[in-house]
Structure 1
Amino acid sequence: MDLGLAGKRVVVTGAGKGIGLAIVRGFVDEGATVVAGSRRITPELAKLSGVTAVEVDLADQAGPAELVAAAGERIDVLVNNVGIAPPRPQGFLEVTDDMWAATWNLNVMSAVRATRAALPVMLAGGGGAIVNTGSVNARLADPLVIDYSAAKAALTNFAKSLSKEFGARGIRVNTVAPGPVATDLWLGGGGVAATVGAAQGIDPAQVEAGAKAAMVTGRFTRPEEVADLVLLLASDRSGNVTGAEVTIDGGLITTV
């Protein structure tokens, strides 16, 4: 299927690794040019052709606008992907205001700021597509990631509101909601499996196995699979899809 993304100009946040890097690669493979923001320019990101890699702290108030400005006077697609999901095995009463603020800032406010900077450019160009990387935890509330769950719920609601305000002006806004994905956030050192395993005194592999067992498919989603959904929602093939939340979780959420 030709997604019609060749020649499009795309901005991606949190692009250095994991889902973000897979999204950048997907757009490049489709012939788009990408402005990719990351706190650190990883070797994998740096070697991609057709990519302008911008080293930027997206947790800083000025960071998202700085990244958007690097795209110049045309933006066809904005992907708000950056985020953190710090496990809280110690429980709610030990989650401080600073922890809540850090999670909210990177998961929600970075998207708010990037969108606020990109929308005028998109509107001047006649339209565009915004895709947010959400999470099943927006609906599947989990005390282990209580602040992350709340932040992703807010991000999903933010996208829906935007879609209503700007849909008639040619801007589509959608959310992709992954379950557990095979990235460092879940499986790397200091990731969810390692943190929970240490808190419970079990091998991280047992935590990973438990997560897999909770999914109908019995496996984690691959970053490239999330990227494929982002590309589809960003393309004109989804031209009448806006305000949607598309779940990719291996059947983790079993309710309608």
Structure 2
Amino acid sequence: MELDLAGKTALITGASRGIGLEIARTLAAEGARVIGGARTVSDALRETTPYVLSVDLATEGGPAELVDYALAELGGIDILVNNLGFPYTRPGGFLSVDDKGWQESLTMNLLTAVRTTRAALPSIIERQGSIVNLGSTNARSPVPVVVDYSAAKAALLNLGKGLAEEFGPRGVRVNTVAAGPVMTDAWTGPGGIADTIAGQSGLSRDEVLAQVPQMLGSSTGHTTTAAELAALVAFVASRKAPNANGAEFVVDGGFLKTV
């Protein structure tokens, strides 16, 4: 499907690898001018777009720095993808997470989106653009091992609906794309979710990864790829569904069973 994104400017947080990198590649392939921000800029991101900035988005001023760079380089922002996030694993559950842990998770998974959106909104309003927040099924189905991440993603979902209500009348669409497990470093990397589950279950990392669809009750038997998720983000960001606003689009293989 032609998404009519040629010439549009898209800003992506956490764009150096995983889901963010795939979103950058997909939007670039659709003709968008992509600005990618990340603490460490990867070679793969530099190959995708010349507009990259090494910036720590977890700092108070980092998001505004990235937005200022985008405005200086390309003059405005049509699409904002708040992709940055990380599910810190908590094998000890709720009682193992102190205030520092909560602040770390809320900053990474909520406040970065708040700050980037606040800085980018004037330009997005001017261009009647769109915002896509990367959510998680954990917002609706929390588990103890990511208790703080789940709470932050629930807040992000609520934020998206609030922004859609406030800025929809001004031509801005705000939606959430919520994923179940996606095979990125958060799952497969050393110390990631698969390793945590393996340590609790006695299985190997490879055994855990092979059983993820069954463990999570997926009806497809398939684990989502970053490319699949990026394709949906690109569609939602485009104007092919102009009346989709304040919506949550879920890609989880049927993991969520609630109505």
| TM superposition score category, shorter chain reference | over 0.9
Show the counterpart of 1:191: 192
User: Residues of 2 paired with 1:98 and 1:21: CA distance?
Assistant: 29
- Provide the rounded CA distance (Å) in 2 between the counterparts of 1:250 and 1:121: 36
* Coordinate RMSD, CA, aligned: 1.1
Q: Which amino acid aligns with 1:205?
A: D
Equivalent in the alignment of 2:94 = 92
Match of 1:223 among 226, 239, 246: 226
Percent identity, aligned pairs only, is: 49
TM-score normalised by the chain length of structure 1: 0.96
Residue of structure 1 equivalent to 2:16: 16
Greater Cα offset, 105-114 or 181-190:
181-190
Deviation, 1:86, is 1.1
Within a 5 Å distance, the mapping from 1:1-256 to structure 2 comes to 1-48=1-48, 50-72=49-71, 73-125=75-127, 127-213=128-214, 214-256=217-259
Read off the aligned partner of 2:43 and give its amino acid letter: P
Secondary structure at the aligned position of 2:198 is classed as helix
In structure 2, list runs of 5 or more residues that go unmatched.
none
Q: CA deviation at 1:253?
A: 1.1
Deviations 1:181-202 (A, max 9, x none): 0111111222100122124443
Distance (whole Å) between structure 2 residues aligned to residue 189 and residue 167 of structure 1: 42
DSSP-derived class of the 1:36 partner: strand
Are the aligned partners of 2:26 and 2:230 in contact in 1 as well (CA < 8 Å)? Answer: yes
In the alignment, the residues of structure 1 paired with residue 50 and residue 252 of structure 2 have an alpha-carbon distance, to the nearest angstrom, of: 29
SS of 1:47's equivalent? helix
TM superposition shift of 1:141: 1.2
Q: 2:93·2:146 contact (CA, 8 Å) conserved in 1? A: no
Provide the aligned length of Structure 1 versus Structure 2.
254
Letter in 1 for 2:220: T
Three-state SS of the structure 2 residue aligned to 1:113 is: helix
Distance 1:17 1:151 in 2: 21
Contact 1:138 1:150 in 2 (8 A): yes
- The residue type paired with residue 143 of structure 1 is P
Write the distance in 2 (CA, Å) between the matches of 1:119 and 1:91: 36
Write the deviation string for residues 125-161 of structure 1: whole angstroms up to 9, x where unpaired.
Answer: 3x11000000000101111110000000000000000
